[in-house]
Amino acid sequence: MGDFKLTTVEEFEAATNRLLETGAKVGADAWQLRVKNQTPHCKFGEQGICCRICSMGPCRITPKAPRGICGCDAHGIVGRNYLKFTAGGAATHSDHGREICHTLYHAAADGAYKVKDPDKLIRIAKEWGVETEGKDIYDLAHEVAEMALMEYGKPFGYQRWLKRAPQHTQDLWEKAEIAPRAIDREVACSLHMTHMGCSSKPEALVRQSLRAGLCDGWGGSMCGTEFSDVLFGTPKPIDTEANLGVMNADNVNIVVHGHDPSLSEMVCEYADDPEMIAYAKSVGAKGITVSGVCCTSNEVAMRRGIPMAGNFLQQENVVLTGACEAIVVDVQCIFPALGPLSKCFHTKFITTSPVAQMPDSDYIRFDVGTAAEKAKQIVKMAIDNFQNRKPELVYIPDMKQKATVGYSVEAIVKTLDGVTNSQVDELGTTKPLIECITSGVIRGAVAMVGCNNPKIRPDYAHIELMKKLLANDIIVVASGCSAQAAAKAGLMDKSAKDLCGAGLKRVCELADIPPVLHMGSCVDISRMMILVSELAKDSGLNISQLPVVGCAPEWMSEKAVSIGNYVVSTGIDTFLGVDPYVSGSDQMGYWLTEGVRDWVEAAYTVETDIEKLVDKMIDRIEEKRAAIGI
Amino acid sequence: MTLFDRVFSGNDAVYGLTETAIDNAIAQYGADQAVAFPHTAYSLPCYYAVTGTKVSNLGELKEALGVVKTLMTREKRLNDAFMSGVATALCAEFIEVLKYINNETPYEEPCSGHLMDATIRELGVPLVTGDIPGVAVILGAAPTKEEAVELVKSYQAQGILVTLVGGVIDQCLEAGLNMGAAVRIIPLGRDVTSVIHVVSVAIRAALIFGNVTPGDAGNLMKYTFERVPAFVNAFAPLDDVIVACGAGAIALGFPVITNETENIFRVPKSLIVQEDVSRFNATSLEARDIKIKITKIDIPVSFASAFEGEIIRRG
């Protein structure tokens, strides 16, 4: 117990306001201002009834004009917009996964990228029917990587990873014709369907949305996660810290931001290099601090314990501290605003990916072959930049919390082994967790995921929902910016057990875990799919029968919609705190919140009242318990 | 029925019995009739430790029952199940203390019933030093008397203090097992409510050695969880009352190991189903994280500190 105290959203906001003062001094723009400029938003866009997929439009639906020029009604327009949104998200995660597969393909014993978890590689190879006996681990890596890359464009068959799901789930997918084929095919097919004059039937558009989502969660994202583990190590529980206070005013601060660990791992590697540290000292710094923002932060926190400076809507704050020598980014969720913002400070805004090029940045193109030298170049550039710091602008809010992270499925199962009794239990299963749930000690589990969105008070929903869930003995697994919100607040400190109900508290004590388990980045939501599949198999229940729900209270990106679609498709009821631009069509509303239940035994609930959102989740969990008599 | 429903139902049953028993006692003796356990400075130790209030007569006992009722919330949360378990234990204590009204000896050899403070002080030091590495609470009747004796002896050989409640006592008697505090086998009583007398030991240990303030239920439970290495072996069949008592034990941090397989829910480290009674010992010690350092001496008789108080009779 001791002096543990959560950091409140009010304290976050006070720190942000103080940083915005610095921003105002140097004439910096900020998302808070840009939101003001964009408000009120266009109602047609918000309701999803604006269509501009051909040059006859743009069309919008009003009572006077119930159809677009081609004759498409509101339902078709909303449905197509929804599917395009999904396809964007699926493409994004999947391309990330593809990069990882490529990196694995180029891994070499004497290269920058190595196979750090050969056991996991061998496990996957066996799962895929690859002969492993007597094979060099790198030959195996290249063979498996090539197979994985083929998953993106193979002409026949379904995704390999689907076999990990319980048979019942696989049957549902096949019956509903949503089992994903090649990853790129589903994305392309989605874009085909949404072309002018193709699909305008909501049912068909929703069906493809689910399939495109599944090609992400059980395809691209799963490739990203699994092969990141192979390359960089499968996460194990590790202690770290979170919030802006992890930046160190005396050190060279390098912030990694984005998603692909191929970049951030290399940067961390070189920031740890004694030669670099000595160089940093030579310019007057005491050392080098690497911290992270967004999912790439989650990746290096999970594997290396690199501290997390903040989540999505805190990315500008990192620069506003005036103590950031370099913010190194790759792809996804990077505000282009960082370019102009960094110009107000000494900060170097370094873009690295041809996929995400931005004005006002230093573009250091990063690729597998030159990763080592580029990483070194970046670290050096940051160090050289230390002396350009303007001391009068430096303010790092003194706030951080301890966090224990690194809960991969493998780590969770290992933790559960710790509470088994060798006289009665078998090792290596999720059964102890199932027993906690069936006995009622834990009422259920919620997967909290997703972004920040200025439409919701940033982090408020994540933190408040989690607190209420914990108090109700519901364990939370988190990923992405939701996980970082939890970490910043202190919910991943083991001391946070005292906020839990008696049941979850006891579990935290016996298993020695924090009440919110950090399962990783957004592609790592595939870990949650594997976990829930294991729970279903070990319990003999269908996934949809488990008292488990998903929640994205502050979601923002297309990726979040793709995630939502595969989570629902996997049989997990999903709760959204922000409307996915479907309110313009009651038919789309019906399909997403009810209709899909006939196919996948789960559906969406949209509730923008955050207090109600959490109560609805708790009610749903209790309903599921009652249905199976536990 | 869910596990929590069973706990609540067992608690309701015991509460009903307690209420009737107190009402009858008041009708018989009047509200001013004194109630107390012999040789203790802690009034009704469990109730005193949980609430900080001492109870001296039947009228106060009736009031105390009102306090116990407030613990019997019925939300579907572990806290409620735990508190119901505690409420069940407190009701058991009330039922037991009524047995002592105007009757110096409700329990007769070999059963001890209430244990006096002096016994606890005596056991306390070896408990703290680890000389007594654990406290086993065995409840009900084993499938056979041989298994019962085997289990009791296995703990005794490890220096563990064994307390017995219910059928197991007669099984040990039939087998001619030498019992008593001196050899660390204490038969408490044949009614399930007599289990409170060992709970009372754990709780008085917290008050005496742990310096827990009476009424500080949170720290009380923390102390017993961390410091009193007790566990429960409950033999099938388990009725709801025993399940409710079990919830009380688990609330204090004591795992329950049972061979019951019907209508039971497993809880890791807390409620463990072990069908094989011969493995109760190993299962229990692992569940309570009791590690015993044993230097095995190859001699033809049992050897353990538990035999230190044994009396060798002539013949």
Nearest to A420 among B77, B265, B268 (CB): B268
Helix (H) or strand (E) holding B225: helix B217-227
Backbone phi and psi for residue A518, each to the nearest 5 degrees, phi listed first: -80, 110
pLDDT band at B303 (very low <50, low <70, confident <90, very high): confident
Q: In the predicted model, what is the mean pLDDT of chain A?
A: 97
Residues 6 or more apart whose Cβ sits within 8 Å of residue B284: B134, B136, B231, B233, B255, B257, B290
Q: Do residue A443 and residue B76 have CB atoms under 8 angstroms apart?
A: yes
Q: Do residue B272 and residue A472 have CB atoms under 8 angstroms apart?
A: no
DSSP state of A422: T
Hey, of B77, B221, B290, B291, which one would you mutate to test binding to chain A, going by the most A CBs within 10 A of its CB? B77
What is the predicted pLDDT for the residue at B99? 96
**Contact criterion met (CB below 8 Å) for B131 and B159:** yes
SS3 of B13, please? helix
B113 dihedral zone (left: phi>0; alpha: psi -120 to 50; beta)? left
SS3 of B267, please? strand
Q: Smallest CA–CA separation between A533 and chain B, in Å?
A: 21
Q: Which two tokens stand for residue A116?
A: 């750090």
pLDDT of B315 over the 80 cut = no
Q: How many residues does chain B have?
A: 315
pLDDT of B166 over the 60 cut = yes
- Cβ–Cβ pairs < 8 A, chains A and B: 71
Residues of chain A with Cβ-Cβ distance to B78 below 8 Å are: 440-441, 473, 501-503, 506
Q: Smallest CA–CA separation between A619 and chain B, in Å?
A: 12
pLDDT digits (tens, 9 = 90+) for A322-331: 999 999 999 9
A504-513, A605-614, B288-297: least confidently modelled range: B288-297
pLDDT digits (tens, 9 = 90+) for B64-81: 999 999 999 999 999 999
> What value does the mean pLDDT take over residues B256-270?
96
Q: Do residue B4 and residue A440 have CB atoms under 8 angstroms apart?
A: yes
Residues 6 or more apart whose Cβ sits within 8 Å of residue A577: A456, A461, A551, A552, A553, A554, A555, A607, A608, A610, A613
pLDDT band at A177 (very low <50, low <70, confident <90, very high): very high
Positive or negative: CA dihedral B302, B303, B309, B312: positive
Which residue type, as a one-letter code, is found at position A163? K
Q: Do residue B2 and residue A440 have CB atoms under 8 angstroms apart?
A: yes
Query: What is the side-by-side order of every strand in the sheet holding A573-576?
Result: A516-520, A474-479, A444-448, A548-552, A573-576, A604-606
pLDDT band at A563 (very low <50, low <70, confident <90, very high): very high
> Minimal CA–CA distance to B38: which of B87, B103, B133, B84?
B103
What is the predicted pLDDT for the residue at B171? 98
Residues of chain B with Cβ-Cβ distance to A622 below 8 Å are: 76
Using a CB–CB cut-off of 8 Å, the residues of B that contact A are 2-4, 76-79, 81-82, 265-274, 279, 282-283, 286-287
> What value does the mean pLDDT take over residues A567-571?
98
Q: Do residue A432 and residue B4 have CB atoms under 8 angstroms apart?
A: no
**Contact criterion met (CB below 8 Å) for A415 and A303:** no
pLDDT digits (tens, 9 = 90+) for A228-262: 999 999 999 999 999 999 999 999 999 999 999 99
**Contact criterion met (CB below 8 Å) for A209 and A86:** yes
Q: Which two tokens stand for residue A625?
A: 């318990």
How far is CA A334 from its chain centroid? 14
What is the predicted pLDDT for the residue at B293? 67
What is the predicted pLDDT for the residue at A2? 66
**pTM to 2 decimal places:** 0.95
SS3 of B173, please? helix
pLDDT band at B175 (very low <50, low <70, confident <90, very high): very high
SS3 of B116, please? coil
Nearest to A503 among B78, B265, B287 (CB): B78
What is the predicted pLDDT for the residue at B67? 97
pLDDT of B128 over the 80 cut = no
> What value does the mean pLDDT take over residues B172-179?
95
pLDDT digits (tens, 9 = 90+) for A280-317: 999 999 999 999 999 999 999 999 999 999 999 999 99
> What value does the mean pLDDT take over residues A110-128?
97
Q: CA of B282: which chain A residue's CA is closest?
A: A423
**Cα B80 to Cα B14: distance, rounded to the nearest angstrom:** 16
pLDDT band at A1 (very low <50, low <70, confident <90, very high): very low
**Cα A369 to Cα A122: distance, rounded to the nearest angstrom:** 25
> What value does the mean pLDDT take over residues A179-190?
98
What is the predicted pLDDT for the residue at B27? 97
Q: Which two tokens stand for residue A104?
A: 């694995």
**Cα A25 to Cα A14: distance, rounded to the nearest angstrom:** 17
**Contact criterion met (CB below 8 Å) for A240 and A405:** yes
Distances in Å between the Cα of A536 and the Cα atoms of A324, A416, A430, A533, B257 are 46, 16, 9, 5, 26
pLDDT digits (tens, 9 = 90+) for B231-241: 999 999 999 99
Hey, of B79, B267, B277, which one would you mutate to test binding to chain A, going by the most A CBs within 10 A of its CB? B267
